[in-house]
């Protein structure tokens, strides 16, 4: 049996980074999903074995919390493990680590498994009995839960987009990370110049498919740095997200970089 926890390395190519020369949150999200895919695939409960049984994993909630974003041309490791398996959900944790073994952030994800014909959730311990052997009990994740994000009361959408070819993935629905890209596109470049995302939570509620018009409703912060965004198809939410910003402290960035040298 392979170890319960595994880690995967990723190189941060310059041109994959944002205008500040650091990894974007969607890029961190991509690496996280890549680590989850590889971890599950190698342990016999990945995309291929699930497809062969007529099932698929569906990401239900994701929370990413970063104290520092990795710099371009650096290498990071994403450590991942299964934290819990219940009847209809499984929880998977992640730790993002730089090449000096400094922890840059954590993530927590909640997954359901669906039957590809009925699109209904399946009982995970029955559908995927090998999963319970990989539950890691010796590790803990500082993100203990991902709250339900409430519906917003805003009347007018801040923006809208149509789901296109580049948004759709192998499951024939909108890619989980693309929702995040569209949400972040609501913010002005000045926001990214002076702030970084400390915490990003997303609840996935329905599937976006090719041609759907998704309207983005944003609740302005009431004296806080916390924004809520509801991505809606007509009257229904396809996902809801919470973005918590923090001011970039140039001193902190400098001291973190010198630590890394």
Is residue 195 at the binding interface for a second copy, with CB under 8 A as the rule?
Answer: no
Is residue 60 at the binding interface for a second copy, with CB under 8 A as the rule?
Answer: no
Is residue 120 at the binding interface for a second copy, with CB under 8 A as the rule?
Answer: no
Largest separation between any pair of C-alpha atoms in the chain: 54
- Please name which of 96, 124, 108 lies closest in space to residue 62, comparing C-alpha atoms: 108
| Whole-angstrom distance, CA of residue 172 vs CA of residue 56 | 12
State which of residues 1, 52, 155, 170 lies at the interface with a second copy (CB under 8 A). 170
State which of residues 1, 156, 165, 261 lies at the interface with a second copy (CB under 8 A). 165
| Whole-angstrom distance, CA of residue 49 vs CA of residue 200 | 30
Residue 98 forms beta bridges with which residues? 76
The SS3 assignment for 230 reads: strand
State which of residues 118, 137, 156, 166 lies at the interface with a second copy (CB under 8 A). 166
State which of residues 42, 54, 73, 123 lies at the interface with a second copy (CB under 8 A). 73
Is residue 175 at the binding interface for a second copy, with CB under 8 A as the rule?
Answer: yes
Of 22 and 240, which has the nearer Cβ to a second copy?
22
Of 42 and 139, which has the nearer Cβ to a second copy?
42
The window from 29-37, 61-69, 133-141, 215-223 that contacts a second copy (CB under 8 A) reads 29-37
CA angle 248, 253, 259 (to 5 degrees): 155
| Whole-angstrom distance, CA of residue 254 vs CA of residue 1 | 43
Phi, psi angles (nearest 5°) of residue 189 = -65, -25
CB of 150 vs a second copy, minimal distance in Å: 26
DSSP 84-135: EE-SS-EEEEEEEEETTS-EEEEEEEEEEEEETTT--B--HHHH-GGGGGGB
The window from 12-20, 99-107, 125-133, 230-238 that contacts a second copy (CB under 8 A) reads 12-20
Residues in the chain: 261
Residue 113 forms beta bridges with which residues? 57
State which of residues 123, 133, 169, 249 lies at the interface with a second copy (CB under 8 A). 169
Window 211-240: contact mask with a second copy (x via CB under 8 A): x-----------------------------
Binding residues for a second copy (CB under 8 A): 13-19, 21, 24, 26, 30, 33-34, 37-38, 41, 47-48, 72-73, 164-166, 168-172, 175-176, 181-182, 184-185, 187, 189, 192, 210-211
């Amino acid at each position: 049996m392979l170890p319960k926890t595994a880690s995967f390395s990723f190189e941060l190519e310059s041109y994959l980074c944002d205008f500040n020369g650091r990894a974007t949150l969607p890029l961190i999200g991509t690496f996280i999903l890549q680590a989850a895919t590889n971890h599950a695939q190698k342990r016999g409960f990945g995309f291929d074995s699930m497809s062969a049984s007529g099932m698929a994993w569906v990401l239900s909630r994701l929370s990413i919390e970063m104290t520092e974003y990795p710099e371009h041309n650096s290498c990071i490791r994403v450590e991942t493990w299964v934290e819990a398996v219940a009847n209809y959900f499984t929880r998977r944790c992640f730790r993002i680590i730089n090449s000096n073994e400094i922890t840059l952030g954590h993530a927590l994800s909640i997954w359901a498994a669906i039957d590809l014909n009925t699109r209904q959730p399946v009982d995970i311990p029955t559908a995927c009995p090998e999963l319970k052997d990989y539950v890691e009990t010796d590790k803990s994740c500082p993100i203990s839960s991902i709250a339900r994000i409430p519906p917003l009361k805003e009347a007018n959408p801040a923006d809208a987009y149509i789901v296109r070819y580049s948004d759709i993935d192998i499951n024939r629905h909108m890619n989980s990370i693309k929702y995040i890209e569209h949400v972040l596109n609501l913010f002005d470049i000045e926001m990214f110049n002076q702030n970084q995302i400390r915490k990003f939570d997303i609840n996935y509620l329905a599937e976006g498919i090719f041609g759907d018009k998704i309207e983005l409703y944003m609740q302005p912060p009431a004296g806080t740095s916390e924004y809520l965004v509801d991505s809606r198809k007509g009257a229904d939410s396809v996902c809801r997200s919470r973005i918590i910003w923090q001011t970039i402290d140039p001193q902190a960035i400098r001291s973190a970089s010198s630590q890394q040298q």
